[in-house]
Structure 1
Amino acid sequence: MSVSVILASSSPSRRRVLLQAGVNPNVSVSHVDEPAALEAAAARFGGRVADLDAKQRVEILARAKARAVASYYRSVAQVAADAHGEQVTAYPLQAPQVTDAGAGGVQSDETQTGSQSRFAGAKPPVADARFRPADVKHSSDGTSDIDRTVTQDFSGLAVPTRTEPLDEAMAGLHGFESSSHGPLIIGCDSMFLFGGETFGKPHTPQVARERLTAMRGKSGELWTGHCVIDFATGRELTEASHARVRFADYTDEQVEAYVSTGEPLEVAGCFTLEGLGGPFIESVEGDPSGVLGISLPLLRRLTGKLGIDWTWLWNWQNTSAVQPGFGSRPQAQDSDIELRVAAATSPQGRIRQPGDGWVECVCGSRHWGRHGAAGILLARRDERTGEVTDIVMQHRAQWSAEGGTWGIPGGAITAGETPIEGALRESYEEANITPDDIEVVGTHREEHGPWAYTTVIAFEKPGHRVDPHPNDDESLKIGWVPVPNVAGLKLLTAFRTDWPGFTERLDRLAREYKGK
């Protein structure tokens, strides 16, 4: 059995510990208001925050983070489960072959018509490995003379399609609520207890300087709360680990140099065991991985109590695919595709999710998403007439594939989620499109055999308003764009190809859509 893990933290240290233990988690930041969470918990106890000890505080915050992420995933799962309408699947690699002359033409109208009717009522076979778009010249080593991260333009081909009810298209797909266990959501929080005072992150150089000066030659306790929620069953366990840390008698100059690096500003206790601060720690008594922010022995015990064997969390293929040089574990292999890590031009420190990676497709392009990719085409309707007026558009970051173009928010699907769930998750993480405010009314899937992209079509629910804005570094801008203005933008190749069909379908869906 394989159980996926969702880490409710953007901490590089926690993710690194899990990776080194063979677990590549999906990272989902909780955005919990920590002071408010502590105040609410203290009020329930009938006291003040000052009355809470270190163990209570880290457990309260770990639980709040895990529950916030679990609640968000339940919203995603519910909206996906309520999705209705039709899925239109396009098979561009089964379009009539380009002529041998390579003049950009296609075969005769008679052949095109035959190809379209050939697939009526039945799924076409997988992509023809011989297919090559006319405008791509391949050298003897198999590379292209154009940037292969640019999606091929299939607008000149008669592409066969298949239409089926959405519930039938999604039947049998593995999603959030289809497993007996998982995904496993892990929330953590760390605090340092020194001299009877609880330290969180110092945030400023002055606070870090004062704390490091007070701590030298002495010891304190690092407490880390852990909350583990099994999404499938709803069962939840919370516990804390702790260890005693003794510091070296370092100099004022060393304190100043360490603070100037910025490393101690955003870590509990203003030190790191695995970073630049490591040489200034004399000893650790207790769980060392807990000092790094996440206790592996404690997690193993908690998952065991939930009926999940720790080895079920291992996803070595994922970790090796996104973490070059990770031990000697085997790289992921597939007879049809070659997996590649993200482009080296992406921002340093950017989190690589389990589904991230390039797929070498038989169409000659490299596609993003080891399990495919998906995005949300979200439309706003006129409250009076019901007509579609605007859609949410993303101005893509320059470092991304076809950077600087406009498209819809979305990204790589991760293992253990359906395309609809992946699109909902990605659009929230990228564009703040909140699942509870939208209704999925159909999908469009471009099928390449070893890879596919699913456009999830949605409307704002009546009485709801989505406020899209960039949530990460993948966008230059995100916002509502009037439908008449879309064609005038510099569009992502695939979206430019599909936009005329999308406008027709949006108009039809708007006439049919009743809303809830």
Structure 2
Amino acid sequence: MTIPVILASQSPSRRRLLVRAGIRPTVRTSGVDEPQVLSEAARQVGVRADALPVKEQVAILARAKAAAVRQVYKAVGRAEEEASGQQYLSRPLEDGYGSVRRQEDLKTVISTSAGMETVSHGPVLIGCDSLFEFDGQAQGKPHDPEVAQERLMAVSGKSGTLWTGHCVIDLASGRQVEAVSHAQVSFGAYTAEDIAAYVSTGEPLEVAGSFTIEGMGAAFIEGISGSPSAVMGLSLPLLRKLVSQLGIRWADLWNVNEEHEQLHELAAGSAQAPEENVHQPGDGWVNCACGHQHWGLNGAAGVLLARSDESTGCISEVLLQHRAEWSAEGGTWGVPGGAIADGENPIEGALRESYEEANIRPQDIDVVGTYVEDHGPWAYTTVFAREKSGRSVHPRMNDDESIELAWVPLDEVANKRLLGAFGRDWPAFYSRLRAFPAQAPTQS
């Protein structure tokens, strides 16, 4: 059985490395404030942050990134444990749209599913961080073209060391292993004009050391001593050893095959998604007996988040996403959601997608029910949730899949241009939301 992999990094290089090695990870950015993490670590040992050895800095940051994403998964787990309400199951191809075949206690559904899916390993969470050391100084991402130009001219004809910290956690067992890789990078001699042209491409601005070995920067690198993949921000040989220390076979992480990659390519081309859009495991189209293609090889899910009126405690608004024009049914309004990734159940997928698209954090909400539209080979799960008493969700577009996000009064939702399936289901959803009990006021 394939063990899912979670990459706690938004680095395209690391993601491409894993995909080429047969592993398409679920990408979860950590949101770690790197300077703050290093400052706190330095304070504990009584030194300045820049006095910490570079090898130690990357280890600290890799550990912090993995820990941050681990906490997110713990919050998702708590949201599932605290879930309440009912799950409504519809099989429209058999019973007609709008019909409900079964109603079950959601806690029973979740506990039954969890009991069936008990695993000894995984998902495997990988946290990494890289810094380039030159003349004893650590260099992260330059961000600014002038900084990149200055750094690259300084290393012309010289060598430096690329350090990468790795922290790997088996979320099933909680075991954690760490290690740091390093590779010596030797640069050729080049002119200021060469580097000005290179910097103008933008490629070196968001990578440690201001260079890449897998892109246009490769022409300026004369040699590497150490793991070539380590220079791209993740040492595959070292990662394989760390995974082995957790008792996991490297081959058990492989989830890339030709058929799925064709589906990913179809997904990218058909939706005309931005080139930098991250495709997660589970992205792709499913041909359905209803005559349509549906998004999500493992099904799809989203969060219908409700907000209560402060005076009555009754639900008064829902958070909706105005979908990007390039997406399926672009320009319509619906709930934040998307394809369920490999190894996720529908609630986990809905909570991940709703954070990516709308900044809905699992610790700020209560799951209060679900609605499953099951087409047989594909299903969509709408997760009903409401803000926790005393907590607020602050919508923010964390990716490029939205035009805008808005709290919409219940009685105004039907006036929007709604996503087809959501519009069809909205009258039943409206009635269900109206029937939820009033939320008790926050105790002061």
Provide the TM-score with structure 1 as the length reference: 0.82
Separation of aligned partners in 2, 1:359 and 1:187: 32
Q: For 2:113, what is the secondary structure of its paired residue?
A: coil
Structure 1 residues 461 and 511: CA distance shift in structure 2, 3 A: same
2:286–2:378 contact (8 Å) kept in structure 1: yes
Separation of aligned partners in 2, 1:35 and 1:500: 49
Residue number among 375, 386, 393 corresponding to 2:302 in the alignment:
375
Separation of aligned partners in 2, 1:485 and 1:202: 47
Structure 1 residues 53 and 485: CA distance shift in structure 2, 3 A: same
- Offset of 1:511 from its aligned partner? 4.9
Partner letter of residue 368 of structure 2? V
Partner letter of residue 30 of structure 2? S
Q: For 1:464, what is the secondary structure of its paired residue?
A: coil
| 1:446 equivalenced with 2:373 (yes/no) | yes
Separation of aligned partners in 1, 2:435 and 2:425: 16
Partner letter of residue 44 of structure 1? Q
Separation of aligned partners in 2, 1:510 and 1:486: 20
Q: For 1:23, what is the secondary structure of its paired residue?
A: coil
Q: For 2:216, what is the secondary structure of its paired residue?
A: coil
Aligned to 1:416: 343
Structure 1 residues 160 and 50: CA distance shift in structure 2, 3 A: closer
| 1:32 equivalenced with 2:45 (yes/no) | no
- Offset of 1:257 from its aligned partner? 1.0
Separation of aligned partners in 2, 1:502 and 1:420: 17
| 1:231 equivalenced with 2:171 (yes/no) | yes
Partner letter of residue 482 of structure 1? P
Partner letter of residue 447 of structure 1? D
Task: Judge which range, 250-259 or 400-409, deviates more.
Answer: 250-259
Residue number among 205, 208, 223 corresponding to 1:268 in the alignment:
208
Separation of aligned partners in 2, 1:208 and 1:441: 50
Separation of aligned partners in 1, 2:191 and 2:407: 55
Aligned to 1:391: 318
- Offset of 1:388 from its aligned partner? 1.0
- Residue identity over aligned pairs, in percent, reads 55
Structure 1 residues 93 and 514: CA distance shift in structure 2, 3 A: farther
Residue number among 267, 292, 302 corresponding to 1:341 in the alignment:
267
Partner letter of residue 132 of structure 2? F
Separation of aligned partners in 1, 2:140 and 2:115: 37
Q: For 1:510, what is the secondary structure of its paired residue?
A: coil
2:88–2:100 contact (8 Å) kept in structure 1: no
Deviation digits for residues 331-372 of structure 1 (CA, Å, limit 9, x no counterpart): 89xxxxxx9534251111211000111111110011011100
Aligned to 1:491: 418
Deviation digits for residues 25-72 of structure 1 (CA, Å, limit 9, x no counterpart): 000111110000000111122221122011001111111111101111
Separation of aligned partners in 2, 1:196 and 1:263: 24
| 1:164 equivalenced with 2:104 (yes/no) | yes
Separation of aligned partners in 1, 2:315 and 2:259: 41
Structure 1 residues 440 and 38: CA distance shift in structure 2, 3 A: same
Aligned to 1:102: none
Aligned to 2:47: 47
Separation of aligned partners in 2, 1:164 and 1:16: 42
Aligned to 1:6: 6
Task: Judge which range, 282-291 or 228-237, deviates more.
Answer: 228-237
Structure 1 residues 174 and 4: CA distance shift in structure 2, 3 A: farther
Residue number among 112, 130, 135 corresponding to 1:190 in the alignment:
130
Aligned to 2:281: 354
Task: Judge which range, 357-366 or 304-313, deviates more.
Answer: 304-313
Please list, as runs of the form range in 1=range in 2, the aligned pairs for 1:398-477 lying within 5 A after superposition.
Answer: 398-477=325-404
2:271–2:328 contact (8 Å) kept in structure 1: no
Q: For 2:405, what is the secondary structure of its paired residue?
A: strand
Greater fraction helix: 2
Aligned to 2:77: 77
1:176–1:417 contact (8 Å) kept in structure 2: no
Structure 1 residues 298 and 513: CA distance shift in structure 2, 3 A: same
2:82–2:367 contact (8 Å) kept in structure 1: yes
Structure 1, unpaired ranges of 5+: 97-153, 325-330, 333-338
- Offset of 1:322 from its aligned partner? 5.4
Aligned to 1:88: 88
Task: Judge which range, 355-364 or 78-87, deviates more.
Answer: 78-87
- Offset of 1:446 from its aligned partner? 0.3
Residue number among 231, 240, 260 corresponding to 1:300 in the alignment:
240
Aligned to 2:22: 22
Partner letter of residue 196 of structure 1? G
Structure 2, unpaired ranges of 5+: none
- Offset of 1:514 from its aligned partner? 10
Separation of aligned partners in 2, 1:321 and 1:341: 12
1:90–1:162 contact (8 Å) kept in structure 2: yes
Partner letter of residue 80 of structure 1? E
Aligned to 1:258: 198
| 1:284 equivalenced with 2:224 (yes/no) | yes
Deviation digits for residues 244-288 of structure 1 (CA, Å, limit 9, x no counterpart): 110111122211111111111111111111100111111100111
1:94–1:159 contact (8 Å) kept in structure 2: no
Separation of aligned partners in 2, 1:66 and 1:56: 16
Separation of aligned partners in 1, 2:115 and 2:341: 10
Aligned to 2:57: 57
Q: For 1:363, what is the secondary structure of its paired residue?
A: coil
| 1:478 equivalenced with 2:405 (yes/no) | yes
Deviation digits for residues 159-193 of structure 1 (CA, Å, limit 9, x no counterpart): 35211111333344369994221111111111111
Partner letter of residue 357 of structure 1? G
Aligned to 1:212: 152
Deviation digits for residues 77-133 of structure 1 (CA, Å, limit 9, x no counterpart): 11012212111011110136xxxxxxxxxxxxxxxxxxxxxxxxxxxxxxxxxxxxx
1:176–1:183 contact (8 Å) kept in structure 2: no
1:77–1:177 contact (8 Å) kept in structure 2: no
Instruction: Find the structure with the greater CA-based Rg.
Output: 1
Deviation digits for residues 170-225 of structure 1 (CA, Å, limit 9, x no counterpart): 34436999422111111111111111211111111111111111111111111011
Task: Judge which range, 176-185 or 203-212, deviates more.
Answer: 176-185
Separation of aligned partners in 1, 2:43 and 2:116: 34
Partner letter of residue 471 of structure 1? N
Separation of aligned partners in 2, 1:69 and 1:185: 8
- Offset of 1:404 from its aligned partner? 0.4
Q: CA RMSD in A?
A: 2.1
Separation of aligned partners in 1, 2:387 and 2:126: 31
1:322–1:341 contact (8 Å) kept in structure 2: no
2:315–2:438 contact (8 Å) kept in structure 1: no
Partner letter of residue 232 of structure 1? A
Task: Judge which range, 506-515 or 193-202, deviates more.
Answer: 506-515
Separation of aligned partners in 2, 1:33 and 1:10: 14
Separation of aligned partners in 1, 2:155 and 2:403: 43
Aligned to 1:143: none
Partner letter of residue 51 of structure 1? A
1:175–1:421 contact (8 Å) kept in structure 2: no
1:79–1:440 contact (8 Å) kept in structure 2: yes
Q: For 1:416, what is the secondary structure of its paired residue?
A: coil
Structure 1 residues 24 and 290: CA distance shift in structure 2, 3 A: same
Structure 1 residues 437 and 267: CA distance shift in structure 2, 3 A: same
